[in-house]
Structure 1
Amino acid sequence: MATLSMVSGPVATSSLPLSTRRRASSVSFPAPKKGGIGHGGLRIECIRIGGVEIPNHKRVEYSLQYIHGIGRNRSRQILLDLSFDNKVTKDLSEEEVITLRKEVTKYMIEGDLKRFNRVAIERMKEIRCYKGIRHKLGLPIAQQLEEVNPTKEPLKSELLNGKWELLYTTSTSILQPQRPKFLRPYGTIYQAINTDTLRAQNMETLPYFNQVTANLVPLNSRKVAVRFDYFKIFSLIQIKAPGSGKGELEITYLDEELRVSRGDKGNLFVLKMVDPLYRVPL
């Protein structure tokens, strides 16, 4: 609801009853403020859009951003779609305010958006995806972690050694999204690294239990070149890796429990430590 103030005007007290005249002589009405949207004897001192009272003294582009779900880009898009000038909010006409309200209802904002996000987060927690785990633990996501990496030279740290469980990745070579769902890896995936022997191993579980081992060549204190040497199909059939089996891996965050890595193709890997004593086969 908009805040309303009455615009006072002269009243002939002689035309009022005596009792009313006495009260009128002791009552004063505030003078109308400048600005706002007026209609008859009423003046609106603020505007309510999308269930939110937006500032009257700012331009519409900035006032709309007080609504949860409307940022700078969306605010500008709304003005563009309506062919509105970016005027001060209080200078909007009644017709423009009504049009603006209708336009804003096209977007998911305020309570609806908050409910949607809450349900989405709960769903991520239930399926235990990377973001869901981070939300459940109250921890920041990958980029925020990388900014505060406590281990500046991970290849020189004992924290890197051991067997890690893959929590999240963007790698299509691991996720295999082009395959039918029942042929995609759906079991736990592990990666092990030993810095003393410069060996690494990737291990799938269901459905194929495939494995691959690799030699690591340090490029700096946080990045290695990866040279795959052997693949194991169903953890039984060993095949020598082709010469093209290579890549790079950079450790961008490392602590006692969590590791974030990025591949040379831009893929993100997030892993948690499960066995610090695991040794990769030579």
Structure 2
Amino acid sequence: MNTEMGWHYNVIKVINRGIFGVPSAKKSAILGLVELLESQNPTPDPTLNLEKVGGCWKLVYSTITILGSKRTKLGLRDFITLGDFFQNIDVAKGKAVNVINFNVRGLNLLNGQLTIEASFKTASKSRVDINYESSTIIPDQLMNLFRKNYDLLLSIFNPDGWLEITYVDDNMRIGRDDSGNIFILERSQESET
């Protein structure tokens, strides 16, 4: 990533990856940066170069939001906090594993994670079709906290549909899904699975 892009990249670094909303001025700045990067995509046919897409990625920003009653129902206001979001892409198997980390206050700072597995197949030079396969929450105490609202939790993070890969280089990937959401991820050296 060149210095100019690195400078702009700091615009994206926002609290909780945008999940709990972003002020409209900041959201506009991020959208402007996304469009700038997309116009300079060094990999215009990403599905023909899937080796650039494979590996572990960490979510930096998304337009998916958990606001109002959804946030309250999931306990994300008071005692459950979101940790890092990782995506592991296995190109050879056509699999993507999303790992969402949670911390629970009051339960000896219990850490847990939601893992969502999906398969993908190439649909065009820049698009993949994604099919949800399975999900798990560990440990059981965290599943017990989410059990009543598990369908709501999955509906927020469900990867079913398609994803247009609009930018990818060695360090960053941007995608847009069929619901109009934008995702910005940075390559991670961590191997969360």
Asked whether the two chains share a fold, i.e. TM above 0.5, the reply is yes
Q: How does 1:54-203 map to 2 (within 5 A)?
A: 127=15, 141-157=33-49, 158-172=51-65, 175=66, 178-180=70-72, 181-182=77-78, 185-203=81-99
TM-score by length of 2: 0.63
Q: Tell me the distance in 2 between the aligned counterparts of 1:185 and 1:129.
A: 13
Inter-CA distance 154–123: structure 2 relative to 1 (3 Å threshold): closer
Task: Show structure 1 runs of 4+ deviating over 4 A.
Answer: 122-131
Q: Tell me the distance in 2 between the aligned counterparts of 1:206 and 1:190.
A: 12
Q: Tell me the distance in 1 between the aligned counterparts of 2:67 and 2:17.
A: 17
Contact 2:62/2:183, CA 8 A, preserved across alignment:
yes
Contact 1:199/1:216, CA 8 A, preserved across alignment:
yes
Aligned to 2:128: 224
* Greater RCO, 1 or 2 (C-alpha within 8 Å, sep 6+): 2
Aligned to 2:166: 252
Contact 1:164/1:192, CA 8 A, preserved across alignment:
yes
> Which ranges in structure 2 are unaligned for 5 or more consecutive residues?
1-9, 23-31, 104-111, 144-153
Aligned to 2:5: none
Output the aligned Cα RMSD: 3.6
| Equivalent position amino acid for 1:205 in 2 | N
TM-score by length of 1: 0.44
Q: Secondary structure of the equivalent of 2:98? A: strand
Shift of 1:271: 0.5
Contact 1:155/1:195, CA 8 A, preserved across alignment:
no
Q: Tell me the distance in 1 between the aligned counterparts of 2:12 and 2:167.
A: 23
Shift of 1:128: 8.5
Contact 2:13/2:61, CA 8 A, preserved across alignment:
no
Aligned to 1:206: 102
Greater C-alpha radius of gyration:
1
Q: Tell me the distance in 1 between the aligned counterparts of 2:64 and 2:14.
A: 23
- Deviation string 1:126-176 (CA, Å, 9 cap, x unpaired) is 858689xxxxxxxx711110011000111232111111110000113xx46
Shift of 1:275: 3.2
Q: Tell me the distance in 2 between the aligned counterparts of 1:264 and 1:123.
A: 25
Inter-CA distance 147–210: structure 2 relative to 1 (3 Å threshold): same
Q: Tell me the distance in 2 between the aligned counterparts of 1:247 and 1:187.
A: 25
> Which ranges in structure 1 are unaligned for 5 or more consecutive residues?
1-121, 132-139
Q: May I ask how many residue pairs the two structures share in their alignment?
A: 145
Percent identical pairs in the alignment equals 27
Inter-CA distance 184–147: structure 2 relative to 1 (3 Å threshold): farther
- Deviation string 1:107-135 (CA, Å, 9 cap, x unpaired) is xxxxxxxxxxxxxxx9986858689xxxx
In terms of fraction of residues, the more strand-rich structure is 2
